[in-house]
Amino acid sequence: MRKRHCLNLTGQFFCLLFLLVSIIAPCHGQEKLPEIIKKVQPSTVLILTYDEDGKVKAQGSGFFISKNGDIITNRHVVEDASKAEIKIGQGKVYAITGIVAEDKEYDLIRASVDIAPELVNPIKLSYSIPEVGERVIVIGSPLGLEKTVSDGIVSAVREIPRFGKIIQITAPLSPGSSGSPVVNLKGEVIGIATFQILEGQNLNFAVPSER
């Protein structure tokens, strides 16, 4: 009888332990998100472009890729601009001085910025394609609202004819989100927010960072 009683107690203990683990695990995951956001936010920039008359032509998002001040964004964000600059917060603005590299097919561009290295916080890139269901965070400047955070999952990885591989995400994108980093829970960039299908809900797409 004692053995049976002990077994029952043991079973109750393991049930309690399982419940505690189930409760603690989600909390730990939630605590990790703010840490990732704090780590990535300083690396993101608001991009402003101007026409020949000095009027704002377009705006978008981008992020630092190297300590020398190079940024990554979508090519269409700076296309046909007479002048472009970045804003990193607190009203600090720095000029985009040139194009380092571009990929017209994937709508990507790497540009150099005239900024002191100590003000730059580059993000690490992931060179592997994320798994469907993987959680992701997008940090950008939709409608000029700097450092805006949205989250979701990778809902699909697709091959689009004459374009190539593209990552479909559920994290919301808005005008001005183009060029935002899409990061995983390690704080690594897995893609660059590029476009959305307006007719569909949560049909948002990112170019893989492996490009």
Q: What digits encode the pLDDT tens for the residues 75-124?
A: 999 999 999 999 998 789 999 999 999 998 889 999 999 999 999 999 99
DSSP three-state, residue 98: strand
CATH superfamily, domain at 134-208: Trypsin-like serine proteases (2.40.10.10)
Q: Is 134-208 in the same CATH topology as 41-119?
A: yes
Q: pLDDT under 70 in the chain at which residues?
A: 1-31, 196-203, 210-211
CB 169 within 8 Å of CB 162 = no
Q: Which two tokens stand for residue 180?
A: 């935002």
**Rounded to whole angstroms, what are the CA distances from 96 to 70, 71, 126?**
9, 9, 25
Q: Which two tokens stand for residue 10?
A: 């043991």
pLDDT at 207: 83
Q: Which residues are catalytic?
A: 76, 107, 178
CA dihedral 44, 148, 40, 63 (to 10 degrees): -20
The second-level CATH assignment, the architecture, of 41-119 is Beta Barrel (2.40)
pLDDT at 24: 39
**Domain range summary for the chain, segments of one domain joined by +:** 41-119, 134-208
Does the pTM surpass 0.75? The reply is yes
pLDDT at 26: 45
